[in-house]
Amino acid sequence: MGELGEPREVMRTADDVARPVAGPGQLLVRVRAAAVNFPDALMVRGQYQVRPPLPFTPGVELCGEVVDGARRGKRVIGNPVLPHGAFAEYALLDAAAAFPAPEALDDAEASALHIGYQTAWFALHRRARLRAGETLLVHAAAGGVGSAAVQLGRAAGARVIAVVGGPAKAETARALGADLVVDRTAEDFVAAVKAATGGRGADVVFDPVGGDAYNGSARCVAFEGRIVVVGFAAGQIPAPALNHALVKNYSILGLHWGLYNTRDPQAVREAHEELTKLADAGVVRPLVGARLPFAAAADAVQRVADGLSVGRLVVLPD
């Protein structure tokens, strides 16, 4: 793409883009599946913290097959090295950050394991220290990262309350195994959480939404609870009242998963090993909302930007 804007308006297919060349420490991969993430939409709009120079190929997550070298033919997952993004026939990965695709997952599922599940894993286990028996509140529970949090919360032995927008997404959250599903378009999730917990509230809140979702979470978080701020899909960055956190004794925790790739890559590798074990055991399986042809990539990114997707939309190269 050669300009910034709404995905449907600025993303175009091109046949004259040269195949990227792997540099030192990089792998050239043939893309087998590219998962669509909310950061893709932000990057296309020029609103993400990472801003590749124009022109660039978007797409921040993939499953690919290594083209040459010692790992030739191996299926791997990871984040492509921009400006050569995942919505292409070929992409580049940093060799040290290219992880084996779990054998239990097909290409589309494997492509959706990395960002969302790593984010949920670090949020729940590294930041919030979720314990078995605790109540976990998950916002946007039918989305790509929210569905991962529901599955990982259940795997950790937590009671999971899923908040979604609409009846169809409520059915999805139930199918994922949520103990209680709240349709925020039909009822007040704050009242529902308090009623379900006998007034105590949620021990851990997983919030990739921000805005009203965060404000409501502060009203129904438990004593010594933890709110993990993962993102602001609603487009509104809340301004927490710190006196409220003080008088209720709860913690506000930030999570920028990408920092672990540079600050603690070993922790990322260990998380991948744990996620692979869970996938192989059938405990977690990425929710693929749709498998789309390459020509539909722009539409897929737009659907995610507009909050109209369920699970992960995955683009499959022709």
pLDDT digits (tens, 9 = 90+) for 177-187: 999 999 999 99
User: What per-residue confidence (pLDDT) applies to 193?
Assistant: 98
Cα 129 from Cα 114, distance rounded (Å): 20
Burial class from Cβ neighbours inside 10 Å (0-12, 13-18, 19+) for residue 253 reads middle
At 280, give phi and psi (nearest 5°): -65, -30
Handedness of CA 125, 313, 278, 137 (dihedral sign): positive
This prediction's pTM: 0.92
In the predicted model, what is the mean pLDDT of residues 112-117? 95
Query: Is it the case that residue 10 has pLDDT exceeding 90?
Result: yes
User: What per-residue confidence (pLDDT) applies to 235?
Assistant: 82
Query: Is it the case that residue 141 has pLDDT exceeding 90?
Result: yes
At 224, give phi and psi (nearest 5°): 60, 30
Cα 30 from Cα 86, distance rounded (Å): 10
In the predicted model, what is the mean pLDDT of residues 126-131? 98
Cα 86 from Cα 63, distance rounded (Å): 9
Cα 182 from Cα 164, distance rounded (Å): 6
Instruction: Express each pLDDT in 165-211 by its tens digit.
Output: 999 999 999 999 999 999 999 999 999 999 999 999 999 999 999 99
More confident residue, 318 or 61: 61
Instruction: Express each pLDDT in 276-294 by its tens digit.
Output: 999 999 999 999 999 999 9
Query: Is it the case that residue 316 has pLDDT exceeding 90?
Result: yes
Burial class from Cβ neighbours inside 10 Å (0-12, 13-18, 19+) for residue 131 reads exposed
Cα 29 from Cα 195, distance rounded (Å): 50
Mean pLDDT of the chain: 95
Instruction: Express each pLDDT in 36-82 by its tens digit.
Output: 998 999 999 998 888 888 899 999 999 999 999 989 999 999 999 99
Cα 157 from Cα 176, distance rounded (Å): 14
Instruction: Report whether 160 contacts 138 (CB < 8 A).
Output: yes
Cα 97 from Cα 272, distance rounded (Å): 11
Provide the token pair at 255: 């999570």
Query: Is it the case that residue 1 has pLDDT exceeding 80?
Result: no
Q: Which residues are CB-contacts of 226 (< 8 A; sequence separation ≥ 6)?
A: 127, 128, 129, 203, 204, 205, 250, 251, 253
Cα 278 from Cα 158, distance rounded (Å): 16
Instruction: Express each pLDDT in 230-241 by its tens digit.
Output: 998 888 898 998
Q: Can you give the length of the chain in residues?
A: 318
Q: Which residues are CB-contacts of 75 (< 8 A; sequence separation ≥ 6)?
A: 32, 63, 64, 65, 100, 101, 107, 110
User: What per-residue confidence (pLDDT) applies to 273?
Assistant: 97
